[in-house]
Amino acid sequence: MVVKKPRPKKKPVTKKVAPAPLAVKKPVVKKVVNQLFEKRPKNFGIGQNVQPKRDLSRFVRWPKYIRVQRQKAVLQKRLKVPPPINQFTQTLDKTTAVKLFKMLEKYRPESMLAKKQRLKKIAEAKVQGKEVEPKKKPSYVAAGTNTVTKLIEQKKAQLVVIAHDVDPLELVLFLPALCRKMGVPYCIVKGKARLGRLVRRKTCTTLALTTVENNDKPNFGKLLEAVRTNFNERHDEIRRHWGGGILGSKSLARIAKLERAKARELAQKQG
């Protein structure tokens, strides 16, 4: 019986990709190193080489007012903030605030120069023997905590605007409650400096509008409606809402680590 030899298996032929046309390898140029120059690696340890330039703002000793405002911001996040104080973090929305400041701009008090010129014209007219008719007193915004408080108590204020960043906050802390009690629409806006600019001062805590011209009344009515819905009618919600109580990254990491350890112990007991 003839035993057939097993046929050798054919090797799979792999197709080689043709080399790219005009592919020329770049000649590697060896850097000539002078043996006379020895390597001196820098050591950036304490008391060694001069440190490289880097951002050192973390290690800067900042001025005291910057340190205080940063600490204050951190404390307001960490500590539990009661609702009467926390309500000053909720300000009027941007679109309504723009409309409000446009309205207040019309009732800005006159500057010292404008007043001087007005009185000068009246004086010149009197010197010439002309009769000066008394004009109707223009309506301006009332500014300052004491003035605004009196207007609210007398129910003369139609709209009260309070700055959110008054320091100390106790100066205006009672105003929202007083406005609600007397039924006066109030709103909290960003920036005592912005309010101050309206009344030609550096800063201002509160403003109040007492009267509005007839042509502004339709827009003013819409503004009051928006302010009432955002602040006066949300009293119950504001009264319940506490602020702060947000933990930092280190505290969260520590709590997570403890939780993982507890979970591991539980798994070991069960397993």
Q: What is the pLDDT of residues 57-110, one digit of tens each?
A: 889 999 999 999 999 999 999 999 999 999 999 899 999 999 999 999 988 888
The token pair at 112 is 């010292």
- The pLDDT score that the predictor gives to residue 24 is 64
- The pLDDT score that the predictor gives to residue 82 is 92
- The pLDDT score that the predictor gives to residue 177 is 93
Let me know if residue 149 belongs to a domain: yes
The token pair at 263 is 């979970």
- The pLDDT score that the predictor gives to residue 179 is 92
Query: pLDDT of 215-265, one tens digit each?
Result: 888 899 999 999 999 998 888 888 888 988 899 999 999 999 999 999 999
pLDDT above 70 for 9? no
pLDDT band at 36 (very low <50, low <70, confident <90, very high): confident
The token pair at 232 is 């006066």
pLDDT above 70 for 143? yes
Let me know if residue 73 belongs to a domain: no
The single residue listed with the structure tokens 């947000």 is 246
| Phi and psi torsions of 26, nearest 5° | -75, 130
pLDDT above 60 for 1? no
The token pair at 141 is 């915004």
Let me know if residue 156 belongs to a domain: yes
pLDDT above 90 coverage of the chain, percent? 52
| Cβ-contact 262, 197 below 8 angstroms | no
Domain assignment of residue 96, given as a range: 82-120+137-241
Let me know if residue 263 belongs to a domain: no
- The pLDDT score that the predictor gives to residue 164 is 93
pLDDT above 70 coverage of the chain, percent? 93
Better pLDDT: 22 or 95:
95
CATH number, domain with residue 211? 3.30.1330.30
pLDDT above 70 for 22? no
Q: How far apart are alpha carbons 254 and 252 in whole angstroms?
A: 5
| Cβ-contact 198, 105 below 8 angstroms | yes
Query: pLDDT of 109-137, one tens digit each?
Result: 888 888 888 888 888 888 888 877 777 77
Q: What is the average pLDDT across 134-160?
A: 89
Let me know if residue 21 belongs to a domain: no
Query: pLDDT of 10-21, one tens digit each?
Result: 666 677 777 776
- The pLDDT score that the predictor gives to residue 239 is 86
Look at the chain and report how many structural domains it folds into.
Answer: 1
- The pLDDT score that the predictor gives to residue 114 is 84
Let me know if residue 70 belongs to a domain: no
Query: Is residue 139 classed as helix, strand or coil in its secondary structure?
Result: coil
Beta-bridge partners for 159: 209
Q: What is the mean pLDDT of the chain?
A: 88
DSSP result, 223-244: HHHHHHHHTGGGHHHHHH--EE
pLDDT band at 148 (very low <50, low <70, confident <90, very high): very high
∠150-155-159 over CA atoms, to 5°?
90
From the list 108, 96, 68, the residue with the least C-alpha distance to 225 is 96
Q: Determine the residue type at 50.
A: V
Q: How far apart are alpha carbons 172 and 89 in whole angstroms?
A: 14
- The pLDDT score that the predictor gives to residue 244 is 87
Helices (H), the chain: 64-78, 83-86, 94-106, 112-127, 145-153, 175-182, 192-198, 217-230, 235-240, 249-270
Let me know if residue 62 belongs to a domain: no
Q: What is the pTM of this model?
A: 0.71
Let me know if residue 25 belongs to a domain: no
The token pair at 199 is 């009344």
Beta-bridge partners for 206: 162
